[in-house]
Chains A and B, each alone.
Chain A
Amino acid sequence: MAEFSFENVSKRFGSMPAVDNHSLAAGDGEFIVLLGPTGAGKTTTLRLLAGLERADAGKISIGGDDVTHQSPTMRDVTFVFQQYSLYPHLTVFDNLAFPLRSPARSWPADRIDVKVREVARLLHIEDKLSNRATQLSGGQMQRVAIGRALVREPRITLMDEPLSSLDAKLRAELRVELKRIQRELGATVLYVTHDQTEAMTLATRIGVLDRGRLVQIGSPREIYERPANVYVATRLGSPGINLVPRQLLPRLKAPDAAATVGARTEHVRVSKAANGSALGRVRWIEHLGDANHLHLRLGEHDFVTLTAPGTPLTVGDAVDVDFVAPLFFDASGRRIVT
């Protein structure tokens, strides 16, 4: 329950910069999600804040204190991993009480009892308190692991892909739960994932990482609607943003510097081509139920957008594509602000 900041923090492993000059300030109670593919430097950033890695340069602060050279135990942060890492021989209650009984805290038993029950209620596992940890389902185990991290009200909670070992349905459920618990406790969370849906739905702000660099940080809406560059634009959105060379769309009004047009499904109107104005052809219509993915071929480019299930379009149809306020990127990939 504290703010934290990175000022020009770098970390290399051999000649490979894992974290390259990060600056980032998170407020108390913020839910920051770092998003990026494997090797982008997400986990290293997390470990730097935990104190499990030493920064080569820069300053890390928690709650206004410089912790750059502090040991992990002094920092008052907790970690939730992808694997549940519960004590299998202990009950759910004892697992949750464990951090409170540690010599560093040694709370009295009645206070522990109150706190554990409060957290259990929040996690909807009150009726499981006397179960062994191993008697729980995967989703319940991960709930307990999250509960154990939050029970001692650390200054910062760090989470490294905590939902990725759960199946899709459970993951969706726990996403909503996790957000609610974080909000009710007012916890400050730094969360790492490569899953864009998790980033979009959990974060107050998303930091997008690319090969060690923090490319953009902003609210999910900012990142989605106003990406800094092509790379960020491709990280969010399903189906992904379509990138089409500007010269392929001669009729589209675009800024002079525009080299690439970025079109999300909401920027696109597809219609059956009238009298030879065809821009592309329907390759495949992919059923999703509530909508269909419409796969088009525009010259040499694949183009995917959404269409209503009742669309009259069929495979092989020549189509015309109109654009409504798409994004424009210059030759270096930076978005042109229009």
Chain B
Amino acid sequence: MAEIRVDSLHKSFGDFVAVNDSSFTVRNGDFFCLLGPSGCGKTTTMRMIAGLELPTRGRILLDGIDVTMQRAALRDIAFVFQLFALYPHMNVRANIAFPLKSQRMPRAQITERVEEATRILRITHLLDQPVSGLASGDRQRVALGRAIVRQPKAFLMDEPLGALDAEFRSLMCGELRLLHDRLGATTVYVTHDQLEAMALADRIAVMNEGRIEQLASPQEIYDRPATVFVADFIGSPSMNFLPCAPVDAGLARGTHRVRVEGADIEMPALAQDASGREFILGARPEHISLVSDSPLRAEIFGTEYLGTTQIVTLQLRGGTSIKARVPSDVPALVGDQVGLALDSARLSVFAGSNGSALRTTLHESGTVHG
């Protein structure tokens, strides 16, 4: 088990900067997700931790030992890929035993380890079957078995569930998390799927263009996104962004109101002064409700019934399109004019210039929910 420290890590390919001066620590036993769109540098970061790629500069420490230039094979880290990468001519037992055989472990010990791994993954009944006939879930379990059998210091997983269909992915998500809880091994997990990251991780690093935009717990990232990018990337449907302006001269510390399309909207009081004239108010779909009397008016553009709730797509007078998640028994007809009420305690506000969140009382309270 191990702590992984990444210190000012930088990687460029020619002119292209893949990872830009990234620093973070994965705590011992953490399930840590690197999350971001394709090309954000998450896989490159992971490959450098694994030793499959050498950094341009910066350091990687595994349990306090500098491994930056160490060969991959010496790092005692197990890698699980998206594609199952099993040896097709070997059976399940031989596939899982393979890494131990190449370490020249005594046979009795190998048998013991393989059986333990398959018991944890509940595939003991498959031990002597060829891997070619296995269902995709079982193949993925065998691939995991081959990683856990080594009892490495850490696991690195690169979109291991990416090739599975949605229903099965959510099932495997659950299995992975329970497996992590049993083994308690430090895990770094790369994905572009925000739901997967939210479901699995203790902490998430959201990456964009080679930089970490925010590193925090899933709930923290959801409730208090550090930037517009993070707010937009996490949540489905994503956060709504309403262009807004100061009511008075500017946004000073203590201000708790902004103007959206001529309507004054209450929000958490600012804990800092902010310059500029352009701001963005961020509201999650579940923090918007439909009311009759509100100065903020919108027209219903579409409704999507989802059983317990419905997603209502609305258009503000200025043309901004927003989505609200409301109980499915709230009447909402396409073409209706409605008022919008925003849950003032839960709103985020961002600087229009660079998209970073302004500090408000939202950041000073403890847990937001409860």
> A residues within 8 Å of B by Cβ?
168-169, 172, 175-176, 179-180, 183, 197, 200-201, 220-221, 224, 236-238, 264-266, 283-284, 286-290, 293, 295, 306, 308-310, 315
- In the assembled complex, the Cα of A265 lies from the Cα of B304 at a distance in Å of 19
A224 partner residues in chain B, CB cutoff 8 A = 305, 307
Given contacts A286-B199, A287-B218, A310-B369, contact A176 B306 (CB under 8 A): no
Measured between beta carbons, the chain B residues less than 8 angstroms from A309 are 219, 222-223, 368-369
Complex-state Cα separation, A315 to B177, whole angstroms = 12
Residue of A nearest to B308 (CB): A266
- Contact assessment for B367 and A310 in the assembled complex, using a CB-CB cutoff below 8 Å: yes
Cβ-defined contact, B302 with A200, below 8 A:
no
Known: A288-B199, A289-B235, A290-B235. A201 touches B304 (CB 8 A): yes
**Residue among A180, A289, A306 having the largest count of chain B Cβ atoms under 10 Å:** A289
Inter-chain contacts of A310 with B (CB < 8 A): 367-370
**B305/A221 in contact, CB under 8 A:** yes
Q: How far is the CA of A236 from the CA of B237 in the complex (A)?
A: 19
Interface residues of B in 222-264 (CB under 8 A from A): 222-223, 234-238
Q: Which residues of A contact B163 (CB under 8 A)?
A: none
Closest to B329 in A: A221
- Measured between beta carbons, the chain A residues less than 8 angstroms from B134 are none
Q: How far is the CA of A236 from the CA of B368 in the complex (A)?
A: 31
Point out residues on B near A: beta carbons under 8 Å: 173-174, 177-178, 181, 195, 198-199, 218-219, 222-223, 234-238, 284-286, 301-302, 304-308, 311, 313, 325, 328, 334, 367-370
A175 CA / B94 CA spacing, docked (Å): 47
**A112 to B220 alpha-carbon distance, docked (Å):** 54
Please name the residue on chain A nearest to B197 by beta carbon: A287
CB-based nearest B residue for A315: B181
Report B18 CB to chain A, min CB distance, Å. 22
CB pair A172–B307 under 8 Å, yes or no, is no
Min CB distance, B118 to chain A, in Å? 21
| A315 neighbours in B (Cβ, 8 Å) | 181
A201/B195 in contact, CB under 8 A = no
A266: chain B residues within 8 A (beta carbon): 308
Nearest chain A residue, comparing its CB with the CB of B286: A290
Q: Which residues from chain B contact A283 at a C-beta distance below 8 Å?
A: 178
B23–chain A nearest beta-carbon distance, Å: 25
Inter-chain contact B305/A200, CB cutoff 8 Å: yes
* A175 CA to B334 CA, complexed, in Å: 15
The 6 nearest A-B residue pairs measured at CB: A310-B369, A310-B370, A201-B304, A289-B222, A176-B302, A309-B369
A-B contact pairs, 7 of them (CB 8 A): A176-B313, A201-B304, A238-B307, A287-B218, A288-B198, A289-B234, A290-B325
A255 to B311, CA, bound (A): 35
A22 CB to closest chain B CB (Å) equals: 25
Q: How far is the CA of A176 from the CA of B301 in the complex (A)?
A: 8
Minimal Cβ-Cβ distance residue in A for B199: A286
A32 to chain B minimum Cβ distance, whole angstroms, is: 15
Q: Which residue of B lies closest to A203 (CB)?
A: B305
* Most interface-central of B199, B285, B368 (chain A CB within 10 A): B199
**Contact: B308 with A286, CB < 8 Å?**
no
Complex contacts, B222 vs chain A, CB 8 Å: 287, 289-290, 309
Contacts of B313 in A (CB 8 A): 176
- Cα distance, A200 to B313, chains bound together (Å): 15
Question: Which residues of the partner chain A approach B237 to less than 8 Å between Cβ atoms?
Answer: 172
- Measured between alpha carbons, how far is A309 from B219 in the docked complex, in Å? 8
Contact A200 B178 (CB under 8 A): no
Contact B174 A201 (CB under 8 A): no
Interchain CB contact under 8 A, B284 and A290:
yes
Shortest Cβ distance from A62 into chain B, in angstroms?
Answer: 28
Q: Are B306 and A201 within 8 A (Cβ)?
A: yes
Are B302 and A179 neighbours in the complex by a CB distance under 8 Å?
yes
Q: Is the CB of A176 within 8 A of B218?
A: no
Q: Determine the chain A residues whose CB is within 8 A of the CB of B178 once the complex forms.
A: 283-284
Residues of the B chain whose Cβ atoms lie less than 8 Å from the Cβ of A237: 307
Q: Are B325 and A287 in contact (CB under 8 A)?
A: no
Q: Considering only CB atoms, which chain A residue lies closest to B325 in the complex?
A: A290
Our pick among B234, B236, B285, B334 for the contact of A183 (Cβ within 8 Å) is B334
A172 to B304, CA, bound (A): 10
**Contact A286–B174 (Cβ < 8 Å):** yes
